[in-house]
Amino acid sequence: MKHSFFKYITAAILILILYYFLEKLELLNPVKTIFGTLFYPMLIAGFLFYILRPVVHFMARSKFLPLPVAILFVFAVIGALIYGGIRFLAGTIKKQITDISELPEKIKQTAEEAGQKLEQNDMGMVSVASIKQRVTEYFGGLTQQIGEHMMSVFSTIAGATTVLIIVPFVLFFFLKDGDKLIPFLKRALPEKHKPRGEKVLKDLDYTVSSYVIGQATIAAVDGILTYIGYVIIGLDYALILGIFVMLTCIIPFVGPVIGAIPAIVVALMQEPSMAIYVIITFIVVQQLEGNLVAPLIFGERLDIHPLTVILLLVVAAPLYGVVGMIIAVPTYSVIKVLLKHGYDFYRLYHS
């Protein structure tokens, strides 16, 4: 046992030394480029794989509907829903996006109005000219920054387009051949340890699947409830803001707060008292999620303490940004399962 322990420690040290020199010599740059190119398509396809897999498997149970046909049928339904949603909501979304794009000008106008009121009531204590100059400089600088970064914006759009083209193909093969992964990995195990190895791999699959499906469901419910709440209180741009909440809620704990910030800004521009109603809507939705939706979806399946989730997000955000915050919890869950079954893995490979 001791001999094996020191053998693996030595191997780990040698690998770290090798990695250090390869990094210094910049020999890993091609590998990093390949990884960076494939990471986002694989991440998005993997996320959609866990969401669509139950639907595809349910449809493929029919003897008259082979698995590839079931996958293509699901793709066609999703495409039809997206097309129908765009046709039905295109006018509303376009109008709201156009109106939101005018918010900076409205903010500038509001600042000027506030400056006029200050000029009437400041009694010489506030320099309104200075405030106007700073506001003008800010928006002038903002326009200049947008112009300077236009090329990077086009580059980002091109990259996103490439990802969107690649993802359906990767997702198709994930759905078609995903069930072959566990049998493939089992081949590396001795015959007598294959049942235990299969259990560990299925636990990993179940953990990631539970988190992805659960978090996606919670994000969808939060977005719908928030949109309904914004419509009830009469908030402008309710649809766009509801969609934004749905997207940000994929990040646990922090996502709903991020999603509420634009709504508060819009509410303050519409009517200051409206911000209070937005905050009340946020609290009501979060209470419904925390006490009804999340327990119903997750139950005790992941068994992760809320403080652990917060600490994971705090560490992941400065390291890898939004992507790090999205994958922090499922990555932790996978590592937790691996550590839990660490002894089993050791026995599978070395007994």
Q: 17-31, 39-53, 176-190: which has the highest mean pLDDT?
A: 39-53
Q: Does the structure show a pLDDT above 70 at 5? A: no
Q: Select from 45, 324, 321, 30 the least CA-distant residue to 163.
A: 45
Of 104 and 327, which is predicted with more confidence?
327
Q: According to the model, what pLDDT value does residue 2 have?
A: 47
Of 66 and 187, which is predicted with more confidence?
66
Q: Does the structure show a pLDDT above 60 at 141? A: no
Residue type, 303: D
Confidence of residue 144 (pLDDT cuts 50, 70, 90): low
Q: What is the pTM of this model?
A: 0.69
Q: Select from 28, 33, 32 the least CA-distant residue to 15.
A: 28
145 domain residue, yes or no: no
Q: Which domain holds residue 276?
A: 188-351
Neighbouring residues of 99: CB distance < 8 A, sequence distance ≥ 6: 236, 237
Between CA 49 and CA 55, with CA 52 as vertex, the angle to 5 degrees is 145
- Of the listed ranges 5-19, 295-309, 337-351, the least confidently predicted one is 337-351
pLDDT (mean) for 85-91: 73
344 domain residue, yes or no: yes
- Of the listed ranges 162-176, 277-291, 298-312, 321-335, the least confidently predicted one is 298-312
44 domain residue, yes or no: no
288 domain residue, yes or no: yes
Q: How many domains does the chain have?
A: 1
235 domain residue, yes or no: yes
124 domain residue, yes or no: no
Report the distance separating Cα 184 and Cα 17, nearest Å. Answer: 32
129 domain residue, yes or no: no
Of 316 and 118, which is predicted with more confidence?
316
Instruction: Tell me the per-residue pLDDT of 57-70, one tens digit each, with 9 for 90 and over.
Output: 888 887 778 888 88
Structure-token pair, residue 338: 């691996």
119 domain residue, yes or no: no
Q: Does the structure show a pLDDT above 70 at 235? A: yes
Q: 96-105, 158-167, 210-219, 334-343: which has the highest mean pLDDT?
A: 210-219
Structure-token pair, residue 77: 């339904």
Confidence of residue 46 (pLDDT cuts 50, 70, 90): confident
pLDDT (mean) for 317-321: 78
What share of the chain has pLDDT > 70, as a percent? 71
Whether 77 contacts 59, CB under 8 Å: no
Give, in order, the Cα–Cα distances in Å from 241 to each of 15, 108, 276, 321. 48, 22, 16, 22
Report the distance separating Cα 182 and Cα 189, nearest Å. Answer: 11
Q: According to the model, what pLDDT value does residue 129 have?
A: 56
